[in-house]
Structure 1
Amino acid sequence: MTNGQLHEGESIRVNGASAGVAMAAIQIASALGAKPVIAMSRSAAKLDRLSQFGVDAGIDSSRESQVDAVMAATGKRGVDLIIDTVGGPAFEANMDSRAVKGRLVNIARVGSTTAQIDLEKLWLKRLKLIGVTFRTRTEQERLECIQACARDLLPALEAGRLRLPIIAA
């Protein structure tokens, strides 16, 4: 929420959608009124089960073009925000599937820590690349994150709109 600056009505794509952090991102985006909430996974079975958590469209990245599927789901506009846990292998598709002024928040690099960037795409679309980690945050910054999380998410947790289910392979 904080780093991605997601607003109601904006579109979001979450990579590695069945993992814990990604599932939390999906539910938070849905609770905030993001539309569409797009989930990406290499498992069609996992994608089918994610619809109950706020996913509007699923992309099976082992079978279909990520970019084509995002463009179809967003009326060829692209997504406003991508939450990326994959890193390098998804980077080019992440660049190509974002809307003008789209944001990418990278929270993990399970696929690879490196990628090449086409600076013209970054420039023409006025994209933002945002890296997130707790490892380099001060104690004060960590406290501020916890306070923001409590302020923004406790009502949804109390109402049962956010939960962390286990989705097995």
Structure 2
Amino acid sequence: MKAIVIRSPGGPDQLTLQERPIPQVTANEVLIKVHAAGVNRPDIFQRQGKYPAPEGIVQDIPGLEVAGTVEDCGRTVTRWKPGDRVCALLPGGGYAEYAVADESHCLPIPVNVSFFEAACLPETVLTVWHNVFQRGRLISGQSFLVHGGSGGIGTTAIQLASLAGAKVYATAGTDNKCRFCEKLGAVSCINYHDRDFATELEAGTIDVLLDSIGTPYFDRNIDLLAEEGRIVFINAIGGRQAVLNIGKLMQKRLTLTGSTLRNRDSAFKAELCRAVEYHVWPWLSQGHFRPVISRIFALTQASQAHTLMESGNFIGKLVLET
């Protein structure tokens, strides 16, 4: 099979097309003929040598989510059969014509959803559901702020939080991105290059805040939180060290939490897939929720996709077609 391989840690030019053996399934795995693979920021970190795959996983083929058809099944697989349309969460190996996935980490693709759309779902939706709704405990009527609202995580978080009945706010880097976020369901989106989100929003009014920036936003995030407010960190691209005013935490009874998905065990991911299928898939099947695709690249253009992702000059998700 053809696969995109990281030759050595570095820039997008380190991605190259190679021939690799088709992976073999174990008892509880399915082999997926990949039609499309989602491109995610952790793929960039892996290419740079900052986010290695878990032990026992192919180390030099990135890709955390794919969509395609089941080609083969391990001997204990019960839910899937060859020909089924599935999307799947992977620990790596998605930038290839074939990939293996735990059967419990696969989700059915609704008939109204394309392979390209489905390839945008597993990593992104599972991340949003766990962090916003499980860790952040967002419920109807509460206020929610997501930083980076125009990216894959942001566009998904805006839609799902809106569908859940929350009052949604966002930040983004251009006026065009802000208008797009508002069309998706944000009450207001603030261009962080022109305005300070901390002064645009009223202090003490945000119930749940999803942050991927870290240090530069930390104090302002704390001030925006309402009593019993929750910050959930999913990255810290602006810095990982911050000074916490413990008095504010105690006075407002705040919760600071965060998570990563790739290193969680198989049972956790399986349970999260079940929760997403139960809660989110009806919205997907009914057309209320749709992943936002910015651009589809050929598999051979993976380096171009990484270059665009690093530039930030896009809205939604980037996808590879295999």
On whether the aligned pair clears a TM of 0.5, the verdict is: yes
Q: 2 CA distance for matches of 1:124 and 1:103?
A: 14
Aligned partner of 1:8 in structure 2 is 140
Q: 1 CA distance for matches of 2:183 and 2:224?
A: 24
- Aligned-partner SS, 1:111: coil
> Which has more helix, going by share of residues?
1
Separation in 2, partners of 1:62, 1:118: 26
Q: Where in structure 1 are there 5+ consecutive unaligned residues?
A: none
Q: Which amino acid aligns with 1:42?
A: G
Q: Which residue of the partner structure matches residue 94 of structure 2?
A: none
Equivalent position to 2:254, from 127, 138, 142: 127
| 2:271 corresponding residue in structure 1 | 144
The TM-score, its normalising length taken from structure 1, stands at 0.91
Determine which structure has the larger strand proportion and give its number: 2
Deviating more after overlay: 159-168 vs 115-124: 159-168
SS at match of 2:271: helix
Structure 1 Cα separation of the partners of residues 288 and 241 of structure 2? 36
Partner of 1:153: 280
Matching of residue 30 in structure 1 with residue 162 in structure 2: yes
Superposition misfits of 4+ residues, deviation over 4 angstroms: none
Q: Aligned partners of 1:79, 1:55: CA distance in 2, in Å? A: 14
Q: Is 2:200 the partner of 1:43?
A: no
Q: How far off is 1:30 after superposition?
A: 0.3
Output the CA distance in 1 between the equivalents of 2:225 and 2:293.
Answer: 29
* Cα shift readout 1:46-76 (whole Å, capped 9, x = no counterpart): 00111121111111222222222121xxxx5
CA deviation map 1:94-140 (0-9, x unaligned): 10111011001111112222222111111111110111111342211
Matches within 5 A, 1:37-76: 37-71=168-202
Structure 2: distance between partners of 1:166 and 1:43: 18
Q: Aligned to 2:210, what secondary structure does the other structure show?
A: strand
Q: Which protein, 1 or 2, shows the higher relative CO under an 8 Å CA cutoff with sep ≥ 6?
A: 1
Q: Partner residue of 2:5? A: none
Distance 2:223 2:156 in 1: 24
Does residue 17 (structure 1) correspond to residue 149 (structure 2)? The answer is yes
Q: After superposition, what is the alpha-carbon deviation per residue over 1:140-159, rounded to whole angstroms, capped at 9, x for unaligned?
A: 11111111111110011111
Residue 17 (structure 1) shift: 0.9
Q: Distance in 1 between matches of 2:262 and 2:291?
A: 24
Unaligned runs of 5+ in 2: 1-132, 295-313, 316-322
Determine if the alignment matches structure 1 residue 163 to structure 2 residue 290: yes
Superposed counterparts of 1:37-116, under 5 Å: 37-71=168-202, 77-116=204-243
One-letter code aligned to 1:94:
N
Residue 166 of structure 1 deviates from its aligned partner by 3.6
Q: Secondary structure at the match of 2:280?
A: helix
Paired with 2:154 and 2:240, the residues of 1 have a C-alpha distance of 18
Distance 1:63 1:121 in 2: 28
Does structure 1 conserve the Cα–Cα contact (< 8 Å) formed by 2:204 and 2:226?
A: yes
Instruction: Render the CA deviation track for 1:71-102: whole Å, top value 9, x for unaligned.
Output: 1xxxx541000011111111111101110110
The number of residue pairs the alignment matches comes to 164
CA distance in 2, matches of 1:163, 1:18: 14
- The percent identity for this pair of structures is 32
Structure 1 vs Structure 2 CA RMSD: 1.5
Higher deviation after alignment, 60-69 or 44-53: 60-69
CA distance in 2 between partners of 1:9 and 1:103 (Å): 15
Q: Compute the TM-score of the two structures, normalised by the length of structure 2.
A: 0.49
Distance in 2 between residues matched to 1:105 and 1:57, nearest whole Å: 20
Residues 7-16 or 58-67, more deviating: 58-67
